[in-house]
């Protein structure tokens, strides 16, 4: 049976969304799929968002049927709005930001490590499994809404951060397949999806707003992460085309940091009144602060806004305290804290890591998004000087506050000669849902007409090769990096990596260190680097291949060359081929696979 819908899934760090569009209708509108979820114990409600939180309940709660939903009995955990609420009150039992763990190659992402630092009696989950649970919930929502169109038979597009490297992409895909998404699930970068949503809204009119030579900065500030992408507008055979030319690194700073900063600020005001807040009240405060932020930081926003914390317990009115926040102070806190004026040459501050650091998510020490953008534009431009965007496309609920949008444009414009030198991309910016909607739209236009963003791989990839030569005691053998995937290698293509043969041991797994770079764009496949700047290449999971020893084979080594393929679905496949035998062995990410799968 052929697909009837294109389904877009935004598996977010803090919120997930699913949208769809029927394939058999011209100009059909992209619609959100309601997501039934636990909003309180034993209470199921459909919402447009699925908060990406997972609460691992106590045995008593499970036995009382608190997490039962959709016919499941004695379920042990809850996903969604209820879990998000629990995150503040019972943090040790709640998984948050599983997605940020998914791209953290310092930990084994198939091992049950979440919630990070949870006590021993909590049955932990791996980042992959938590992601799978979120996707299962979204798949169940699809099934409830469209019982006659199984998800596995639809055209499904799953979005991920542009900054995800090959191994994080593969882990996401693994979670997706385990959750029942079709084998042919397409992976799409979130900032591109946001632009597709804009294209879907604009229809053919988009050509009136962009011209050849324009360069678009997609600035996607989610709950916990900031994702940057540059897309160029070019002309080819008289047609306008879009090409993704650069993506930023994974930056762990987002809207939640701003709400948290404001809540801290307000909590200090409460402390002056002698009020200390418990966790429940802190959540309420966080919520009130977000409302106040959006009200105050808009054009003609009030100069003052009361933030109230209701009394705990059933004596509510008596315990209610409010403080007045001033627009000026809040604007200063958020604008200077997150969008400070800075020079294009500025780099994010990297405070020296303390000698003893508890391992956890690598949160940014510098919350200045403008400095991260400056560093991104400078690094991407390389020797030709910083890349200059002509337009900005905003994404993420943070940008509902007009003052933040305006400040960002001011700072970026200021780098290139004034505020007027950069424009907001005109048209509808659906800040909350555009990624899922754009993904659904992409699935629909992918096969037919409609403009597509080209780009290929967002990174170049390298295999680390130890140099031959005598070992020097105490010194690490220098490693050279062989470029196996050049930047921008297109989906649906494959190539042999030219260069010298490499000898691989047979009968035992051969390990390779694996690196990627978002800034080295000119390295061709086969290029061998002996030196590079530390920040240029980042190491990801190692790869391995096991070559069986053929019968009667005497040599312990076989000469091989690398072969690389990027599938239409955006999956990177690396293999090595024996130059003599022509046999091929696939290289796998050697993330340990012994993690228990529940």
Q: Name the site residues for another protein (rule: CB under 8 A).
A: 36, 38-46, 64-66, 68-70, 73, 278, 280, 288, 291, 306, 308, 310-311, 314-318, 320-322
Distance separating alpha carbons of residues 126 and 118, to the nearest angstrom: 13
- Burial tier of 468 (Cβ tally within 10 Å: 0-12, 13-18, 19+): exposed
Question: In Å, how far from its chain's centre is CA 495?
Answer: 28
Tokens of 343: 């020079």
- Give least dist CB 310 to another protein, A: 6
Nearest approach, Cβ of residue 235 and another protein (Å): 46
Q: Minimum distance from CB of 320 to another protein (Å)?
A: 4
Q: How far is the CB of 323 from another protein (least distance, A)?
A: 10
- Least separation in angstroms between residue 311's CB and another protein is 8
Write down the least CB distance from residue 521 to another protein, Å: 47
Nearer to another protein (CB atom), residue 280 or residue 532: 280
In sequence order, the 6+-apart residues with CB closer than 8 A to the CB of 505 are 547, 556, 557
Q: How many residues does the chain have?
A: 598
Give residues with Cβ within 8 angstroms of 551, minimum separation 6: none
For another protein, give the closer residue by CB, 36 or 248: 36
> Minimum distance between the CB of residue 49 and another protein, rounded to whole angstroms?
12
| Closer CB to another protein, 319 or 337, in the complex | 319
Pairwise CA distance, residues 531 & 480, whole Å: 7
Instruction: Write down the least CB distance from residue 446 to another protein, Å.
Output: 33
Side-chain-side CA neighbours of residue 44 (13 Å): 16
Within 10 A of 324 (CB to CB), how many other CB atoms are there?
A: 11
Residue appearing with tokens 């599938």:
567
Q: Which is nearer to another protein, 39 or 378 (CB)?
A: 39
What angle, rounded to 10 degrees, do the helices at 402-415 and 327-338 form? 40
Nearer to another protein, 292 or 576 (CB): 292
C-beta separation of 558 from 493 below 8 A: no
Coil, helix or strand at residue 285: helix
Residue among 146 and 322 whose Cβ is closer to another protein: 322
Least Cβ distance, residue 326 to another protein (angstroms) = 17
Task: Name which of 315 and 551 has its Cβ closer to another protein.
Answer: 315
Choice between 39 and 367, CB closer to another protein: 39
User: Residue 46: helix, strand or coil by DSSP?
Assistant: strand
Q: How far apart are CA 14 and CA 260, in angstroms?
A: 14
Minimum separation from the CB atom of position 80 to another protein (A): 12
Cis amide prior to 215 (ω within 30 degrees): no
Tokens, residue 289:
């602060």
Shorter beta-carbon distance to another protein: residue 311 or 488 = 311
CB 146 within 8 A of CB 565: no
- Closer Cβ to another protein, 285 or 297, answer by number: 285
Give the residue with the Cβ less far from another protein, 283 or 571. 283
Q: Of the candidates 410, 394, 20, 7, which has an alpha carbon nearest to the alpha carbon of residue 184?
A: 7
CB atoms within 10 A of CB 190: 29
Q: What single string gives the DSSP state of each residue in 83-138? A: HHHHHHHSGGGEE--HHHHHT-TTS-TTS--BSTT--TTS--B-HHHHHHHHHHHH
The partner residues of 234 in beta bridges, in order of sequence, read 241
Q: Which is nearer to another protein, 48 or 539 (CB)?
A: 48
Distance separating alpha carbons of residues 482 and 559, to the nearest angstrom: 16
Minimum distance of another protein from residue 36's CB (angstroms) = 8
CB of 309 to another protein, least distance (A): 8
Contact assessment for residue 595 and residue 126, using Cβ atoms and an 8 Å cutoff: yes
Cβ atoms within 10 Å, residue 22: 15
Looking at the Cβ atoms of 44 and 333, the one nearer to another protein is 44
- CA distance to 14, 59, 124, 128, 280, per residue, from 117 (Å): 20, 20, 10, 17, 21
- SS3 state of residue 463: strand
592 CB burial (10 A radius; 0-12, 13-18, 19+): exposed
d(C-alpha 338, C-alpha 84), whole Å:
25
| Closest separation in Å from C-beta 43 to another protein | 5
Nearer to another protein, 18 or 158 (CB): 18
Q: How far is the CB of 125 from another protein (least distance, A)?
A: 22
């Amino acid at each position: 049976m052929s697909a009837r819908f294109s389904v877009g899934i935004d598996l977010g760090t803090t919120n997930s969304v699913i949208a769809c569009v029927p394939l058999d209708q011209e100009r059909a509108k992209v619609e959100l799929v309601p997501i039934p979820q636990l909003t309180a114990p034993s209470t199921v409600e459909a919402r447009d968002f699925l908060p990406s939180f997972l609460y691992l309940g106590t045995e008593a709660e499970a036995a009382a049927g608190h997490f039962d939903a959709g016919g499941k009995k004695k379920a042990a955990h809850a996903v969604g709005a209820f879990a998000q609420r629990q995150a503040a009150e019972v943090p040790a039992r709640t998984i948050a930001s599983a997605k940020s763990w998914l791209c953290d190659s310092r930990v084994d992402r198939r091992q049950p490590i979440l919630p990070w630092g949870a006590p021993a009696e909590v049955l932990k989950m791996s980042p992959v499994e938590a992601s799978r649970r979120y996707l299962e919930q979204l798949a169940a929502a699809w099934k409830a809404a469209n019982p006659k169109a199984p998800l596995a038979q639809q055209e499904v597009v799953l979005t991920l951060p542009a900054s995800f490297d090959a191994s994080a992409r593969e882990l996401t895909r693994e979670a997706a397949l385990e959750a029942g998404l079709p084998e042919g699930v397409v992976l799409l970068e979130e900032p591109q999806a946001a632009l597709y949503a804009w294209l879907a809204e604009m229809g053919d009119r988009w050509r009136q707003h962009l011209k050849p030579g324009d360069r678009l900065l997609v600035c996607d500030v989610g709950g916990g992460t900031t994702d940057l992408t540059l897309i160029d507008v070019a002309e080819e055979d008289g047609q306008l085309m879009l090409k993704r030319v650069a993506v930023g690194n994974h930056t762990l700073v987002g809207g939640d940091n701003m709400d948290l900063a404001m809540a801290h600020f307000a909590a200090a005001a409460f402390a002056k009144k002698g009020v200390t807040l418990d966790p429940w009240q802190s959540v309420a405060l966080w919520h009130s602060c977000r409302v106040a932020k959006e009200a105050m930081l808009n054009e003609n926003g009030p100069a003052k806004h009361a933030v109230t914390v209701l009394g705990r317990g059933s004596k509510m009115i008596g315990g209610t305290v409010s403080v007045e926040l001033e627009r000026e102070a809040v604007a200063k806190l958020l604008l200077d804290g997150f969008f400070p004026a800075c020079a294009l040459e500025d780099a994010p501050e990297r405070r020296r890591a303390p000698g003893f650091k508890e391992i956890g998510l690598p949160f940014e020490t510098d919350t200045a998004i403008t400095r991260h953008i400056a560093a991104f534009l400078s690094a991407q431009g390389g020797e030709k000087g910083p890349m200059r965007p002509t337009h900005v496309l905003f994404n993420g609920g943070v940008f509902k506050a007009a003052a933040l949008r305006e400040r960002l444009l001011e700072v970026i414009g200021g780098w290139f000669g004034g505020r007027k030198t950069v424009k907001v991309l005109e048209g509808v910016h659906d800040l909350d849902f555009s990624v899922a909607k754009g993904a659904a739209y992409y699935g629909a236009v992918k096969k037919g007409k409609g403009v597509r963003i080209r780009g290929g791989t967002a990174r170049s990839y390298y295999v680390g090769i130890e140099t031959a030569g005598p070992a020097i005691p105490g010194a690490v053998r220098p490693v050279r990096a062989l470029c196996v995937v050049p930047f921008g290698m297109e989906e649906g293509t494959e190539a042999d990596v030219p260069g010298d043969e490499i000898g691989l041991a047979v009968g035992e797994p051969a390990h390779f260190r694996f690196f990627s770079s978002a800034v080295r764009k000119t390295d061709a496949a086969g290029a061998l680097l002996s030196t590079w700047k530390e920040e240029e290449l980042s190491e990801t999971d190692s790869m391995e291949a096991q070559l069986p020893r053929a019968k009667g084979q005497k040599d312990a080594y076989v000469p091989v060359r690398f072969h690389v393929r990027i599938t239409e679905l955006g999956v990177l496949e690396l293999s090595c081929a024996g130059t003599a035998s022509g046999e091929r062995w696939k290289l796998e990410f050697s993330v340990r696979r012994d993690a228990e799968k529940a």
